Amino acid sequence: MSKMIFVNLPVTDLPRSMAFYAALGFTNEPRFTDDTAACMVWSESIFAMLLTHDKWRTFTDRPIAAPGSSEVALALTCDSRDEVDALAKAAAANGGIAEINPTQDHGFMFTRSFGDPDGHVWEMFWMDPAVAGGEAELPETAA
């Protein structure tokens, strides 16, 4: 079995969050979805598990991060700069928090960040395939 990641996120409004992620191109996996949780699929190995607060509390006694705090930044690769821009625009148009962090353009890498409706930070990025694959060196300014 290949390695997969299931990112678990507490959400205040499950249908709203499902609609937000669907607008970004995630698809719902109904086998792992009910009225307390939804599995939203980004790729064959990346899944976002959206959990109501009550469901979240069945997994941990730790408090849910307060709105406006940073718990983690989730970075996903994109195939192009245009895809990065399109996802950031879709996030802003569908209830996300636009430009939660400044856009970064390092030439070989381009990133834009946004928050989902609950403030979870997502960073979409494109990296020059030659740099990512090790065929090209990082520019000295990147170190």
Per-residue pLDDT of 62-116, as tens digits, reads 999 888 888 889 999 999 999 999 999 999 999 999 999 999 999 989 999 999 9
**What superfamily in CATH does domain 72-143 come from?**
2,3-Dihydroxybiphenyl 1,2-Dioxygenase, domain 1 (3.10.180.10)
**pTM reported for the whole predicted model:** 0.86
How does pLDDT run across 32-63, given as a tens digit for each residue?
A: 999 999 999 999 999 999 999 999 999 999 99
Strand intervals (E) in the chain? 5-11, 27-28, 37-43, 46-52, 73-77, 104-105, 109-115, 121-127
**141 has pLDDT over 70:** no
pLDDT score at 1: 76
CATH 3.10.180.10 boundaries in the chain:
1-58, 72-143
Q: What confidence category does residue 134 fall into, taking pLDDT thresholds of 50, 70 and 90?
A: confident
Are β-strands 104-105 and 37-43 bridged in parallel, bridged antiparallel, or unpaired?
unpaired
Q: Six-digit token pair at 68?
A: 């406006």
Q: Where are the alpha helices (DSSP H) in 65-128?
A: 81-93
Task: Name the architecture of domain 1-58.
Answer: Roll (3.10)
**Average pLDDT over every residue of 4-29:** 97
